[in-house]
Structure 1
Amino acid sequence: MERFQTITPVDGSVYVERPYATANVINLTLEKAQTAQTHWQALPLEARQAICTKAVECFVANQDAIGEEVTWMMGRPMAYTKGEVAGFVERATHMINIAPEALAPIMLPEKQGFRRYIKRVPLGTVFVVAPWNYPYLTAVNAIVPALLAGNTVILKHSAQTPLCAERMVAAFVEAGIPEDVFQYLHLSHADTESVMQHHSIRHVAFTGSVPGGAMVERAVAGRFIGTGLELGGKDPAYIRQDAEIKNAVETVIDGAFFNSGQSCCGMERLYVHEDVYDDVVNQSIELVKQYKLGRPDNPETSLGPLVRTASADFVRAQTQEAINQGAKALIDPHHFPADQPNTPYLAPQLLVNVTHAMRVMTEETFGPLLGIQKVKDDDEALRLMNDSEFGLTAAIFTQDEARGEQLAERVEAGTVFLNRCDYLDPALAWVGIKNSGRGCTLSQVGFEQLTRPKSFHFKRV
């Protein structure tokens, strides 16, 4: 039986080893999910809500072990892993609470002799493919609303974070979810594609890279099923001359370096009005120097390793290429003794004198690196912010809310923040444009992706 290993970035050891699901297990899982869906759909929404609520409680009860596992699987400092549990609770609870309104039938105005309404009915079985960087937050976005809507769910998690799939399913099983409604599979890439092509899968929710998203679209081509694709990002921030500088800098730096920069909606490029450019750069340097790079199981660490050495080497290469093209590095790596070549431990870096001729300002970095570019006015900032193949989030910092809203209307992104960044409000639609993907999760709109409309047209006789 073929197996895979999860290599921890903490020290390079094997942290988890699991077998891949066999063809028989895969087929049986799919059949069970399809059979279980009819019964699950028939349960009252209140019953599905109660089970999801209990599952959240079961999940939280194991938050210490869950946090430790996240640290060892993907390298996030122990001090921050409970934040993912809190985010899981916030998103799941919000979706549970809004489900009655989001899933309510649309009752049409009275028409003499007729009764008409539209119901939102489940799709069937939803296949969720989740990534390692926010292993619970990305998964919960689709799983909880899919279950609330009456779908069954099969979860395939990253091979870097396989315990997350096991933990989530275990929480729902403990909460009393009917057998086979929520299952997981550990799959190879080839088997993942095969599952997407199976006749019982009616929706694929995928979070990952742009090439991964293209693979999903190829796999389901001609099947006429829905896909939700949350892909890459190169999210920009703009600090205007009238911004509250201290708050803006603190917010952007945190948005750029939290999770070692391994966030789809992390800040990867910063545009600053020339009037406040020097002040922003100086404050940014001082803040970045306060990070403590080290082993994530050390409670004093505020910046852990990247998920693997290859990821750190990619950021190193992107940085060096920009420097060779004229960029200037502002942070001395020697300030961070844990930074070592040929390891996933990488010092944070700020680059100035950057342009869009450099990959560092156009290609997703996914690491602790931020390019800072000076602009002369709002129009130049907007042109540069929109000069990207991606469009996930963007942030504008200004004390003039009216002007900020005018600028936000012109930004090409799924979410535009004003005076904050890098946060998913579950009441808002989480959506990307361009190469950041398609579809939507969270909010009432997110339920529309996981249901289909069914019209009822009754004539009274």
Structure 2
Amino acid sequence: MEAGQNLIGGGWRASDSGATFVTVDPTNGETIGVVPDGGATDIDAAVTAARDALGDPQWARMSPSERARLLWRVADLLERDAEEIAVLETRDQGQPLRIARNVSVAGAVEHFRYYAGWCTKIDGRAPAHSRADALNYTRRVPVGVCGLITPWNFPLLIAAWKLAPALACGNTVVLKPAEQTPLTALRLARIFIEAGFPPGVVNVVTGGPEAGRALVEHDGVDKVSFTGSTEVGRSIVRGSAGNLKRLSLELGGKAASVIVGDADLERAVAGNLQSGIQNSGQVCAASSRFYVARPRYEEFAERLAKAAAAVQLGPGQDPDTQMGPVVGEEHLSRVDGYVRSGVEQGAALLTGGARAAGPLARGSFYLPTVFADADDGMRIAREEIFGPVLTVMPFDDLDEVAARVNDSEYGLAASVWTRDLATAHHLADRIHAGCVRVNMVAGIDPAAPWGGMKASGWGREMGTEAIEDYTEVKSVWIGLE
């Protein structure tokens, strides 16, 4: 069983209260770790350590090339211990081991290497202003102490895509992982120590909502980056008002997928099923509401249901597993509640709609579920379920479907499936989402910005945009007379 302590100021410590909580394997409900249940005093100590490190010459005056070397070293150490960390992620979160290896750990490695390359390229400019008596130049400087709050669906990967740009820009950080999946964050903390980061630059505090609120409200924190639900995101906006923190919020989604009449149906079914059930549907950009051209609607729904019914459920470490459990019993009950609402509101349940039976009943396994004959007003078509629940609806023309896709509070991601280039560009332009994918199911890379519109959040992760979000612009005037 894993046991952990918080990393604060370069040292390992229990929570001030001595309280702990357990984390469980969603495959079987067994306890796999005991970690500190940090609270406000632990957060205060971590923020103090981060603020002290921010002004410490060891970090503040470190050359960009040396910061790059440290980040690259983190990537090397992650790669060295990749199998161990992937297994830990699978046990704590439930995702199939191939996803933990090829997406979570490999993606984290790539983020640290990508932003290591940015360290030596964060510069300003000399504006062409109209004053002959002065020179003006700008610099990008660190925001300061960054509070990073990560969710339970991709604990390691999302921590990496916040930590890497924040540190590349010279900030110090306090990371608060989701209480459901804290283990790889604590393992990553050990890697930062081994890589040689100065004390206090990276701090990790495990805990529940109290710790999260304390981090958001702390006046010693200059920026909060949060990935999670829209409801919690709104509370963060309110809680951060005290010192007007800068915010990056990657929030909920209800990703639409539009299957045009000329689409390759075989590819569209396979791709959309993959998107909808990846990580058991616990992906903010998972395709979950499908708009299918009416002449292809019945065929698509039947094919999708048949493919979903054939998905192999099982423990993440089983190489034959295609879909693991949801993160825990509380979340399984939430997913099942949405399915019951779909049935009650009159949608046709084509497959799934229940937790798995037999040996898998010990864990939090939910069958891939497909609904047809739904409408846009149903909860299963409007609200984020965050589970393997897919809803199929017909459409008649492109103007209609664009309006229906946009009739949502969310705007994180969407997909379009068509062989026609003009249709692809037309719909990509009209859909209000931060990311539109055409004939593909993935759209994340360290070099490309990621984030949402409307209630799906503020700001962007990854790419040049993350560098902008983790820096302030300072304007300097030099008198020439």
Q: CA, structure 1 residues 340+314, in 2 after alignment: closer, same or farther (shift >3 Å)?
A: farther
Q: 1:74 to 1:334 in 2, by over 3 A?
A: closer
Q: 2:330 aligns with which of 299, 310, 316?
A: 310
Matched letter for residue 123 of structure 2: A
Q: 1:16 aligns with which of 30, 33, 36?
A: 33
Taking only the aligned residue pairs, the percentage that are identical comes to: 30
Under a length normalisation based on structure 1, what TM-score does the superposition of the two structures give? 0.95
Task: Count how many residue pairs are aligned between Structure 1 and Structure 2.
Answer: 460
Question: Among residues 84, 88, 92, which one is paired with 1:69 in the alignment?
Answer: 88
Question: Cα deviation per residue 1:365-401 (whole Å; 9 max; x = unaligned)?
Answer: 1111100101111122112211111110011111122
Unmatched tracts of structure 2, length 5 or more:
1-17
Q: Distance between the aligned counterparts of 2:378 and 2:218, measured in 1?
A: 42
Contact 1:393 1:432 in 2 (8 A): yes
Output one character per residue of 1:52-81: Cα deviation in whole Å (capped at 9) or x when no partner.
011111112111111111111111122321
Which of 269, 279, 282 is the aligned partner of 2:299? 279
**3-state SS of the aligned residue for 1:60?**
helix
Find the partner of 2:142 among 119, 122, 131.
122
Does residue 456 in structure 1 map to residue 473 in structure 2? no
Q: Which residue of 1 aligns with 2:46?
A: 29
Q: 1:43: how far off?
A: 1.3
2:364 is aligned to 344
CA distance in 2 between counterparts of 1:358 and 1:24 reads 44
Q: Distance in 2 between matches of 1:21 and 1:283?
A: 48
1:55 aligns with 2:65: no
Bigger Cα displacement from structure 2, 268-277 vs 111-120 = 111-120
Aligned to 1:163: 183
Deviation at 1:32, TM superposition (A): 1.7
Out of 75, 92, 97, the position equivalent to 1:78 is 97
- The structure-2 alpha-carbon separation of the partners of 1:147 and 1:69, relative to structure 1 and needing over 3 Å to count, comes to same
Could you tell which deviates more after superposition, 433-442 or 189-198?
Answer: 189-198
1:154 is the counterpart of 2:171: no
> After superposition, where does 1:426-445 map in structure 2 within 5 Å?
426-445=446-465
Find the residue that maps to 1:17 and give its secondary structure: strand
Q: Deviations over 1:266-305 (max 9, x none)?
A: 1111111112223322332332233111222322111111
Q: How much has 1:340 moved relative to structure 2?
A: 6.6
Provide the alpha-carbon RMSD of the alignment: 2.0
Aligned to 1:212: 232
Q: Is the 8 A contact 2:20 2:35 kept in 1?
A: yes
Equivalence for 2:340? 320
Shift of the alpha carbon at 1:244? 2.0
SS of alignment partner, residue 292 of structure 1: coil
Q: Aligned to 2:300, what secondary structure does the other structure show?
A: helix
Range that drifts further, 249-258 or 423-432 = 423-432
Shift of 1:112: 4.1
Does residue 208 of structure 2 align to residue 188 of structure 1? yes
Distance change in 2, residues 1:135/1:245 (3 Å): same
1:112/1:134 Cα in 2 relative to 1: closer, same or farther (>3 Å)?
Answer: same
* Alpha carbons 2:336, 2:353 under 8 Å: kept: no
Secondary structure (helix, strand or coil) at the match of 1:201 reads: coil
1:259–1:339 Cα change, 3 Å: farther
Structure 2 CA distance for aligned equivalents of residues 33 and 334 of structure 1: 46
- Say if 2:247 is the partner of 1:230: no
Matched-pair contact (CA < 8 Å) for 1:256–1:368: yes
Q: Distance in 1 between matches of 2:229 and 2:392?
A: 24
Structure-2 change in CA distance of 1:32 and 1:358 (3 Å): same
CA shift for structure 1 position 343: 5.1
* Matched position secondary structure for 1:275: helix
Partner secondary structure for residue 196 of structure 1: helix
* Residues 1:142 and 2:159 aligned together: no
Q: Quick one: distance in 2 between partners of 1:408 and 1:257?
A: 23
CA distance in 1, matches of 2:134, 2:353: 73
Q: How far apart are the structure 1 equivalents of 2:133 and 2:310?
A: 72
- What is the alpha-carbon distance in structure 1 between the residues aligned to residue 110 and residue 318 of structure 2? 27
The amino acid across from 2:286 in the alignment is: G
Give the TM-score normalised by the residue count of structure 2.
Answer: 0.91
Deviation larger for 427-436 or 389-398: 427-436
Aligned to 2:196: 176
Alpha carbons of 1:409 and 1:35: their partners in 2 closer, same or farther (altered >3 Å)?
same
Q: Is the 8 A contact 1:230 1:438 kept in 2?
A: yes
In the TM superposition, residue 235 of structure 1 has moved relative to its aligned partner by 0.6
Give the partner amino acid of 1:170.
R
> Which residues of 2 match residues 373-412 of structure 1 at below 5 A?
373-412=393-432
Deviations 1:410-435 (A, max 9, x none): 11111111111243122221111111
Which residue identity lines up with residue 18 of structure 1 in the other structure?
A: V
- Write out aligned runs for 1:244-283 (5 A): 244-283=264-303
Query: How far did 1:339 drift?
Result: 8.5
Distance 1:335 1:163 in 2: 26
CA distance in 2 between partners of 1:232 and 1:212 (Å)? 10
Alpha-carbon distance in structure 2 between the residues aligned to 1:192 and 1:353: 41
CA 1:15–1:150: 2 relative to 1, 3 Å: same
**1:310/1:344 contact within 8 Å kept:** no
Report which stretch shifted further, 266-275 or 288-297. 288-297
- Separation in 1, partners of 2:437, 2:40: 45
Distance in 2 (alpha carbons) for counterparts of 1:104 and 1:329: 55
The answer for the alignment partner of 1:43 in structure 2 is 62
CA distance in 2, matches of 1:385, 1:56: 39
1:245 CA displacement: 1.9
2:347 is aligned with what amino acid?
Answer: A
What secondary structure sits across from 2:141 in the alignment? strand
SS in 1 for 2:380: helix
1:83-110 deviation line (CA, Å, top 9, x unaligned): 2111112233222224444x21122238
2:28·2:362 contact (CA, 8 Å) conserved in 1? no
CA distance in 1, matches of 2:246, 2:40: 24
Deviation at 1:122, TM superposition (A): 0.4
Query: Alignment partner for residue 355 of structure 1, among 360, 363, 375?
Result: 375
> Are the aligned partners of 2:417 and 2:439 in contact in 1 as well (CA < 8 Å)?
yes
SS of match in other structure, 1:206: strand
* Equivalent residue in structure 1 for 2:128, among 109, 133, 149: 109
* Structure 1 pair 348–23 and aligned structure 2 pair: CA distance change class (3 A): closer
Matched residue of 2:83: which SS? helix
C-alpha offsets along residues 100-148 of structure 1, whole Å, 9 cap, x if unaligned?
44x2112223864432111110011101011110112211222111101
Q: Match of 1:73, SS?
A: helix
Shift of 1:336: 6.1
